[in-house]
């Protein structure tokens, strides 16, 4: 996978979420991503950035435009935090499971909305979640 | 601080969400709406989300909460103008928004609210007929 464009956005408070979403929107428009795919990507990003704010208080997101061939271009977002980590990742990926007060749809829902979903978490050290959405797919 | 305006129109409350929502804003809207229903004894709430680009699980939960809270305060809620891409995303996310009435646009939403209000009043009228 080749990275064409890269930017890091710090997430420290709720208002940063709006700025972050707008930036992702701009990236999606730059590669002419369709409306439905763009909406899915933005929704998944919104879920993950909320998790970051709730459980880790702050973190950062790396936005990249990636390509694997002349045909496939997409956006990869990597959410990095130094929060408490996820104790039971299998449970966390199940619909309806939450340790907070939410509906428990964030992680499994976000996974359904994107093409590639990758979680790395170490308890007590932090969580890194990477999602990729292709322009057509 | 940002605030989403709530307009009173007769028995109804109108909310048009024109800004990018973040969580605090949505929570404030929820409590403001419930207070307004109580203050004006409103019978219906119409929420226009045609300018909202994304509805995630939190926002969906708030919409559901508003519908349920207004229901126990004897008011109906209709959400109107959802973008097709938002509808597709909501279902894939796993949030069917059950319990929330929807309509395609403000006009149809208003008609739906009026029908519901009319239905309520006829039911009450029938009840009084039985008693006499």
Contact, B104 vs B80, CB < 8 A?
Answer: yes
Instruction: List the structure tokens of B38.
Output: 């109580």
E strands of chain B, at which residues?
6-9, 12-16, 44-48, 76-80, 101-103
Can you tell me the mean pLDDT for B55-61? 91
- Give A-chain residues touching B64 at CB under 8 angstroms: none
- Give A-chain residues touching B88 at CB under 8 angstroms: 36, 39-40
Domain architecture of chain B: domains with CATH: 6-131 (3.30.750.24)
Element (H, E) at A126: strand A126-134
- A48-72 tens-digit pLDDT: 999 999 899 999 999 999 998 878 8
Q: Work out the end-to-end distance of chain B between its first and last CA atoms, rounded to an integer number of angstroms.
A: 54
- B96-122 tens-digit pLDDT: 888 899 999 999 999 999 999 888 888
In angstroms, rounded to a whole number, what is the distance separating the alpha carbons of residues B19 and A58?
24
- Give B-chain residues touching A113 at CB under 8 angstroms: 89, 92-93
Which domain covers residue A9, as residue numbers?
2-134
What is the maximal distance between C-alpha atoms in chain A? Answer: 44
pLDDT of B90 reads 93
Instruction: List the structure tokens of A28.
Output: 């999606």
pLDDT of B101 reads 94
pLDDT band at B22 (very low <50, low <70, confident <90, very high): confident
Helix B84-93 and helix A35-51, axial crossing angle in degrees, nearest 10: 50
Q: What percent of chain A has pLDDT over 70?
A: 100
Contact B94/A108, CB-based, under 8 Å?
A: yes
Among A64, A54, A57, smallest CA distance to A101 is for A54
pLDDT of A101 reads 72
Q: What is the ipTM of this complex?
A: 0.86
Q: What percent of chain B has pLDDT over 90?
A: 71
Instruction: List the structure tokens of B34.
Output: 């419930």
Q: What is the CATH classification number for the domain harbouring A57?
A: 3.30.565.10
In angstroms, rounded to a whole number, what is the distance separating the alpha carbons of residues B85 and A133?
15
Task: Please state the domain count of chain A.
Answer: 1
B94–chain A Cβ distance below 8 A for any pair = yes
Q: Which of A14, A46, A106 sits opposite B54 (nearest CB)?
A: A46
φ/ψ of A52, rounded to 5, equals -60, -45
pLDDT of B131 reads 58
- A76-114 tens-digit pLDDT: 999 999 999 888 888 888 888 888 777 888 899 999 999
Contact, A80 vs A126, CB < 8 A?
Answer: yes
Question: Does pLDDT of B2 surpass 90?
Answer: no
Helix (H, G, I), strand (E, B) or coil at A110: helix
Question: Does pLDDT of B130 surpass 70?
Answer: no
In angstroms, rounded to a whole number, what is the distance separating the alpha carbons of residues A107 and A124?
19
In angstroms, rounded to a whole number, what is the distance separating the alpha carbons of residues B68 and B40?
18
pLDDT of B120 reads 84
Question: Does pLDDT of B1 surpass 70?
Answer: no
Can you tell me the mean pLDDT for B125-131? 68
């Amino acid at each position: 996978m080749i990275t064409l464009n890269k930017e890091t956005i710090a997430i420290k408070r709720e208002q940063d979420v709006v700025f972050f979403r707008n930036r992702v929107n701009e990236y999606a428009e730059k590669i002419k991503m369709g409306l439905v795919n763009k909406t899915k990507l933005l929704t998944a990003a919104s879920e993950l950035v909320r998790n970051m704010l709730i459980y880790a208080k702050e973190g950062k997101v790396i936005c990249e435009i990636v390509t694997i061939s002349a045909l496939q271009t997409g956006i990869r977002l990597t959410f990095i935090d130094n929060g408490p980590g996820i104790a039971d990742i299998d449970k966390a990926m199940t619909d309806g499971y939450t340790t907070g007060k939410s509906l428990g749809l964030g992680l499994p829902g976000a996974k359904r909305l994107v093409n590639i979903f990758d979680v790395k978490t170490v308890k007590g050290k932090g969580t890194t979640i990477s999602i990729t959405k292709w322009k057509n797919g | 601080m940002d605030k989403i305006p709530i307009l009173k129109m007769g028995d109804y409350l109108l909310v048009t969400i024109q800004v990018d929502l973040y969580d605090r804003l949505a929570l404030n809207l929820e409590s403001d709406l419930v207070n307004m229903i109580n203050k004006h004894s409103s019978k219906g709430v119409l929420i226009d989300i045609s300018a909202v680009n994304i509805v995630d699980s939190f926002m969906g939960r708030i919409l559901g909460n508003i519908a349920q809270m207004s229901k126990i305060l004897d008011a109906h809620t209709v959400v109107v103008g959802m973008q097709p891409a938002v509808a597709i995303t909501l279902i894939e996310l796993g949030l069917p928004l059950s319990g929330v009435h929807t309509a395609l646009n403000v006009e149809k939403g208003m008609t739906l609210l009026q029908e519901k209000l009319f239905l309520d009043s006829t039911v009450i009228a029938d009840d009084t007929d039985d008693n006499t």
